[in-house]
Amino acid sequence: MIPTIEWDAKTRTVKLIDQTKLPGHLEYITASTHAEIGRIIKNMNIRGAPAIGVAAAFGMVLAAQENQNQNFEHFIKSMHQAANLLKNTRPTAINLFWAIKRMLKIIPAEKSDIEQITERLLEEALQMWQEDINCNKAIGKHGASLLSDNDVVLTHCNAGSLATVLYGTALAPIRWAIEEEKKKIEVIADETRPRLQGARLTAWELNYDKIPVKIETDNTAGLLMRKGLVQKIIVGADRIVSDAVFNKIGTYMLAIVAKYHNIPFYVAAPSSTLALEQKESDVIIEQRDGQFEVAKIMGIATKPIAPNGVECINFAFDATPMELVTAIITEDGVFSPKELLAHYL
Ligand code: MRU
């Protein structure tokens, strides 16, 4: 495991793993402006709800650095413009909006020293960075209690270390069960069309940490459940509202099949992913460029897999109704959907 995103104190820039290059190459991108962070989030060089939240927080620090020599009014205006640019990158994961809101709260309304505000913003972003790791470890510890020795756990997309600062959410209970409790656990990762986060990222990071993993095409999951080859499912979340869990497209189908086969379906996410005052109909599901992602594999023009120009449907996420969710694992414990509302509302 290596951190997905880091603040470089010497150059005062942000260093991120370029996830579009994995699994082939472990390469880094350095961002020195908030606009670069915006592009990096939009193009999915960094992705995963908690990771884009922390990236946006550092984006706000960069915005403050870019506006050191402005007068206070101009500084405030520029910070709000930067916040809007960052918010307009990806609409579904709540962590992005949560992080930006938290950063804006740091900025005082009355005239103050810009350098001091910038340092406070940096402290807040670094705190979010550390909190993310702490939350994930706590999710791991709580979630590991749900896993038994020799379980095969199915996961969808990548809700691992790469989707967070470190350690992951859905992969955290697996990591904890193996590393701290010495349980034998195997992982099956859905490849997760169209962006292949399961095949490219989940398999890469588990391989890197020598955790047994197999990948399957998304449409194999039902057969494996029918054959009794999967004991538990754990997925992450981009937003958890009162009546549904938003996560990578395909999660809903998995949850239905799991219910039919009586396989526990767990969602692991930090409390920063909760938006329990909202309901399913309040959420915008991101739709991405289908010509790039669906009609081709990862935009590779030499490998079209559909007739030129055919219309593509490309929702990035779906909503799984709460009645299909066995439990939600947060840094505070394991909750049934009802208990979650009682605890956090
Ligand atoms: O489109 P992505 O790759 O950002 O989608 C990521 C997911 O759907 C993850 O499961 C979710 O963000 C949880 S990450 C801990």
CATH number for 16: 1.20.120.420
Is the same domain home to 335 and 211?
Answer: yes
The amino acid present at 38, given as its one-letter code, is G
Is the same domain home to 124 and 145?
Answer: no
Is the same domain home to 157 and 279?
Answer: yes
Is the same domain home to 77 and 181?
Answer: no
Average pLDDT over residues 118-144: 98
Boundary of a domain, candidates 136, 169, 185: 136
Which pLDDT score, from 0 to 100, does residue 299 have?
Answer: 80
**Confidence category of residue 52, pLDDT binned at 50, 70, 90:** very high
By C-alpha distance, which of 268, 273, 233 is closest to 138?
A: 268
Is the same domain home to 66 and 173?
Answer: no
Catalytic residue among 18, 149, 209, 238: 238
Q: What is the helix (H) or strand (E) element at residue 318, kind and residue range? A: strand 317-321
**Confidence category of residue 300, pLDDT binned at 50, 70, 90:** confident
Note whether 311 and 289 are within 8 A (CB): no
Is the same domain home to 120 and 205?
Answer: no
Is the same domain home to 178 and 234?
Answer: yes
pLDDT digit string, tens, across residues 1-19: 899 999 999 999 999 999 9
The DSSP code for 296 is: B
Asked if the model's pLDDT at residue 70 lies above 80, the reply is: yes
Q: Tell me the CA–centroid distance for residue 158 and ligand 1, in Å.
A: 6
Instruction: For 191, list phi and psi in degrees, rounded to 5.
Output: -65, -35
Note whether 329 and 268 are within 8 A (CB): yes
Does ligand 1 come within 6 angstroms of the Cβ of 254?
no
pLDDT digit string, tens, across residues 224-272: 999 999 999 999 999 999 999 999 999 999 999 999 999 999 999 999 9
Instruction: For 253, list phi and psi in degrees, rounded to 5.
Output: -65, -40
Whether a cis peptide bond, with omega within 30° of 0, leads into 194 is yes
In total, how many domains does the chain have? 2
Which pLDDT score, from 0 to 100, does residue 302 have?
Answer: 77
**Confidence category of residue 301, pLDDT binned at 50, 70, 90:** confident
Residue 238: active-site member = yes
Is the same domain home to 174 and 105?
Answer: no
Protein residue with least CA distance to atom 8, ligand 1: 248
Domain that holds residue 100: 5-136
Average pLDDT over residues 58-74: 96
Is the same domain home to 128 and 186?
Answer: no
Q: Tell me the CA–centroid distance for residue 51 and ligand 1, in Å.
A: 9
By C-alpha distance, which of 180, 98, 103 is closest to 147?
A: 180
Q: Tell me the CA–centroid distance for residue 259 and ligand 1, in Å.
A: 22
Boundary of a domain, candidates 85, 113, 136: 136
Does ligand 1 come within 6 angstroms of the Cβ of 90?
no
Note whether 114 and 67 are within 8 A (CB): yes
Which pLDDT score, from 0 to 100, does residue 303 have?
Answer: 78
Which pLDDT score, from 0 to 100, does residue 99 have?
Answer: 98
Asked if the model's pLDDT at residue 83 lies above 90, the reply is: yes
Query: What tokens were used for 11?
Result: 């150059």
Query: What tokens were used for 138?
Result: 């706590």
How many whole angstroms separate alpha carbon 303 and alpha carbon 300? Answer: 6
Note whether 135 and 270 are within 8 A (CB): yes
| Distance from the first to the final alpha carbon of the chain | 34
Query: What tokens were used for 319?
Result: 């909503």
Which pLDDT score, from 0 to 100, does residue 250 have?
Answer: 98
Q: How many CB atoms lie within 10 A of CB 219?
A: 12
Is the same domain home to 122 and 151?
Answer: no
Average pLDDT over residues 193-211: 97
How many whole angstroms separate alpha carbon 196 and alpha carbon 127? Answer: 31
Does ligand 1 come within 6 angstroms of the Cβ of 51?
no
Which pLDDT score, from 0 to 100, does residue 114 have?
Answer: 96
Boundary of a domain, candidates 107, 136, 165: 136
pLDDT digit string, tens, across residues 270-291: 999 999 999 999 999 999 999 9
Does ligand 1 come within 6 angstroms of the Cβ of 190?
no
The residues near 39 (Cβ < 8 Å, ≥ 6 apart) are: none
Does ligand 1 come within 6 angstroms of the Cβ of 320?
no
Classify each residue of 54-71 as buried b or exposed e, where b means 16 or more C-beta atoms within 10 Å of its C-beta.
Answer: bbbbbbbbbbbbbbeeee
Asked if the model's pLDDT at residue 334 lies above 80, the reply is: yes
Q: Tell me the CA–centroid distance for residue 215 and ligand 1, in Å.
A: 17
Does ligand 1 come within 6 angstroms of the Cβ of 205?
no
The DSSP code for 315 is: B
